[in-house]
Chains A and B, each alone.
Chain A
């Protein structure tokens, strides 16, 4: 009886001290020296136990307050646009990727809520609405429901017009973190713009209301760097996920890799040859689309020579694989990597079909739409455009695809078509799940916001439209670019981490909306 009681007591003590490092050692020692234990001081053990409980309670208290503090900092910082981005970066650096994504969603959500409540006092309401911070499912549900209840309140307006190209601007891309944007043009140059300097200048000028307003309306500023190297129109561009390299493709058949100069570089510095780090040769015709992998050092290019090429920049040889399209598919026009499966990419063709490719097995996985839909089979859908207040009965036969993008979180791929439609496909079945007549002319470009809630579309009708992806409703429209011959808008972009939108067009201009 006594021995058994003692044994139970020892086991209980072991469990209570499980938090200590080197528990195994303690356990081993206990077994070896069990016979030596004679005078056990139970009072001392009870005291230590009480101390531990108190310490544990303190830690729990601290951990509960951490999310609140972070959210509070975010709400405070949202009052100052410039700091908002910094705060987000800071938070993202501290938390795990999942939490960062949640914070990113909350960031959008907080903006809407902040606009509605108009005060920091809204914090308690925010907590009530979102529930426990760590409950991912609840947070997701709240965010998804929010746009359905209240469409995005923010109205985007032109903040800057970037005018420093001689001809059509074919591509516009944001830096992943900084307020930096690059524009690629048919004038054979690529230009780097530092928006932060102008934003700071505006803030400084805001001391005088008149001066501030005047400055905003007529703001003109120059690019901080011009990349010379392409011997012909530059048609496409992308950045590495960390923002330290830029890749451009052009009519001259090359893909060029550029090291990003520092954002405060003097545009009239002596030539720095290290910036042009590499030229990828191999395509036999114009390069029309580029995409960089989110985690591997992989770049995929689509060319009018009928091939897709997979590259590893800086490797020797850089070319990893070539995928040759079926002649019936026409030219590849656009490529994107899938975020849900990092070994898959999507490619769109001028014939109107698209494919999911497995990059490791070098084969097609799925076709959009499935092969059984060929031969004139039509999908019909009734669509409503809020801006036009009209119903369209859209016949969705194959139509050339100008751009293809993968949804960041859902198994959906979106395509922009020459017949004015935007189509949504299921990545598991290849079936078209929706088709929207989106513009009055060909839809040329798409961009999905990093949270996957909104879609930007651009068209040769000159307009830029913002859509709710869930309801397929048009939330805002603006005329962005003038026509040159029958071309107008070529590229749209959401900033990955800041509330900024950009568009680029045939009039040689790029526009920044905030």
Chain B
């Protein structure tokens, strides 16, 4: 009875950002082993913990804990990519002028149509970026395809690959058209390097689509043939997107 009335013991570590926490102290709590995490959000906790520890350590970030389901691992990482990519989108809001970047283009040979509409639309680059990120967060939270954070339905895994292809275009547009912003963002987050390694490692994109140069892939692809097959699978019509010009 009296024990119940006592405040939470001071000895217990509380991993909590209370109101009033300074930005420098955000999430500054001791590391937690993955085995000790017992939340349905354990994978997200673990990924974010590893990213915060050292965003440059790509291999540590992408290596799943022992026994971790690979499909869930891929999905949680993609959520994290899209969330962090919002930081690049915000930088581009002022930089990417719709009267200059009138289309979503990487180089002049590659122009992409926006898949967020009932029929693919030629959006300006900044709109393509906003729509793609907003569409990704909507799809990855859709209870029809992704009802759970601890298991992934088989028919949903293919969705990850189509999101990855569109996400990569945000990186490539920034790299080829807004190099200074890209370099600043990449220096802080190493996000493009992490993403490139991610899609190669888990066979979510074909190598010929990885057009940003000098992003060496440090990990050899080790996924099964089945995964490879899924990655190459044609996407649903409802999420159709088209490459206007196929010529490299």
Q: Which residue of B lies closest to A270 (CB)?
A: B127
Name the distance in Å between B161's Cβ and chain A's nearest Cβ: 19
Cα A418 to Cα B14 with chains together (Å): 11
CB within 8 Å of A: which of B173-206?
none
Interface residues on A, range: 35 or more
Which residues of chain A come closer than 8 Å to B87, judged between CB atoms?
188, 231-232
Known: A228-B130, A304-B22, A460-B16. A188 touches B40 (CB 8 A): no
Task: Pick from A232, A482, A486, A507 the residue with the most CB of B within 10 Å.
Answer: A486
Asked if B210 is an interface residue, CB under 8 A from chain A, the answer is no
Asked if A331 is an interface residue, CB under 8 A from chain B, the answer is yes
Known: A251-B26, A270-B124, A393-B2. A228 touches B86 (CB 8 A): yes
Contact present for A285 and B23 (CB under 8 Å): yes
Contact present for B141 and A482 (CB under 8 Å): no
Which of A80-88, A125-133, A398-406 lies at the interface with chain B? A398-406
- A-B contacts, 9 of them at CB < 8 A, read A220-B143, A231-B91, A268-B116, A288-B21, A330-B20, A390-B4, A399-B7, A460-B16, A485-B45
Known: A333-B20, A486-B14. A507 touches B5 (CB 8 A): no
Name the distance in Å between A388's Cβ and chain B's nearest Cβ: 9
Asked if B131 is an interface residue, CB under 8 A from chain A, the answer is yes
Task: Pick from B7, B80, B93, B126 the residue with the most CB of A within 10 Å.
Answer: B7
Contact present for B22 and A482 (CB under 8 Å): no
Name the distance in Å between B127's Cβ and chain A's nearest Cβ: 5
Contact present for A288 and B8 (CB under 8 Å): no
Which residues of chain A come closer than 8 Å to B4, judged between CB atoms?
390, 392
Contact present for A222 and B117 (CB under 8 Å): no
Which residues of chain A come closer than 8 Å to B170, judged between CB atoms?
none
Cα A4 to Cα B176 with chains together (Å): 105
Out of B5, B14, B22, B86, name the residue touching A286 (CB < 8 Å).
Answer: B22
Cα A437 to Cα B143 with chains together (Å): 36
Complex interface bits, B44-82 against A, C-beta within 8 A gives 1, otherwise 0: 110000000000000000000000000000000001101
Asked if B155 is an interface residue, CB under 8 A from chain A, the answer is no
- What total of A-B pairs shows CB separation below 8 Å? 149
Interface SS majority for chain A? loop
Which residues of chain A come closer than 8 Å to B79, judged between CB atoms?
166
Q: Which residue of B lies closest to A286 (CB)?
A: B23
Cα A419 to Cα B5 with chains together (Å): 9
Asked if A442 is an interface residue, CB under 8 A from chain B, the answer is yes
Which residues of chain A come closer than 8 Å to B29, judged between CB atoms?
485
Asked if B15 is an interface residue, CB under 8 A from chain A, the answer is yes
Cα A165 to Cα B2 with chains together (Å): 40
Q: Which residue of A lies closest to B123 (CB)?
A: A270
Known: A270-B127, A420-B7. A222 touches B138 (CB 8 A): yes
Out of B15, B86, B135, name the residue touching A187 (CB < 8 Å).
Answer: B86
Which residues of chain A come closer than 8 Å to B144, judged between CB atoms?
220
Asked if A164 is an interface residue, CB under 8 A from chain B, the answer is yes
Cα A298 to Cα B15 with chains together (Å): 35
Asked if A311 is an interface residue, CB under 8 A from chain B, the answer is no
Out of A187, A251, A270, A394, name the residue touching B5 (CB < 8 Å).
Answer: A394
Asked if B19 is an interface residue, CB under 8 A from chain A, the answer is yes
Contact present for A482 and B40 (CB under 8 Å): yes
Contact present for B98 and A270 (CB under 8 Å): yes
Q: Which residue of A lies closest to B1 (CB)?
A: A390
Asked if A62 is an interface residue, CB under 8 A from chain B, the answer is no
Cα A349 to Cα B18 with chains together (Å): 11
Name the distance in Å between A438's Cβ and chain B's nearest Cβ: 12
Complex interface bits, B108-145 against A, C-beta within 8 A gives 1, otherwise 0: 00000010110000011011001100110110111110
Asked if A189 is an interface residue, CB under 8 A from chain B, the answer is yes
Contact present for B98 and A271 (CB under 8 Å): yes
Which residues of chain A come closer than 8 Å to B245, judged between CB atoms?
none
Cα A65 to Cα B229 with chains together (Å): 76
Cα A220 to Cα B140 with chains together (Å): 13
Contact present for B90 and A304 (CB under 8 Å): no
Q: Which residue of A lies closest to B17 (CB)?
A: A487
Q: Which residue of A lies closest to B32 (CB)?
A: A485
Contact present for B41 and A482 (CB under 8 Å): yes
Q: Which residue of A lies closest to B20 (CB)?
A: A331
